[in-house]
Amino acid sequence: MKTLLCLLTASVLFAWSPSPVYSADEETVLDDLKCFIMPRKGVKGKKVMEYKGAELYLCCGTCVRRMEKTPEKYEAKANHQLVQTGQFLQKACAITGGAIAADSPTLEIVGTKIRFASDKEKQAVSKLEVDEQIARIFGAESFKRGKFQLKQTDEK
Write out pLDDT tens, residues 74-112.
Answer: 999 999 999 999 999 999 999 999 999 999 999 999 989
**What does the domain layout of the chain look like in residue ranges?**
20-69, 89-156
Annotate the chain with three-state secondary structure: CHHHHHHHHHHHHHHHCCCCEEECCCCCCCCCCECCCCCCCECCCCEEEEECCEEEEECCHHHHHHHHHCHHHHHHHHHHHHHHCCCEECCECCCCCCECCCCCCEEEECCEEEECCCHHHHHHHHCCCHHHHHHHHHCHHHHHHCCCEECCCCCC
Query: In whole angstroms, how large is the CA radius of gyration of the chain?
Result: 17
The pTM assigned to this predicted structure is 0.79
In the predicted structure, residue 7 carries a pLDDT above the cut 50: no
Average pLDDT, the chain: 84
Residue 31 binned pLDDT confidence (cut-offs 50, 70, 90): confident
- Has residue 17 got a pLDDT over 50? no
Q: What percent of the chain has pLDDT over 90?
A: 72
Indicate if the pLDDT at residue 10 is higher than 70. no
Predicted confidence (pLDDT) at residue 113 exceeds the cutoff of 50: yes
pLDDT in tens, 35-47: 999 999 999 878 9
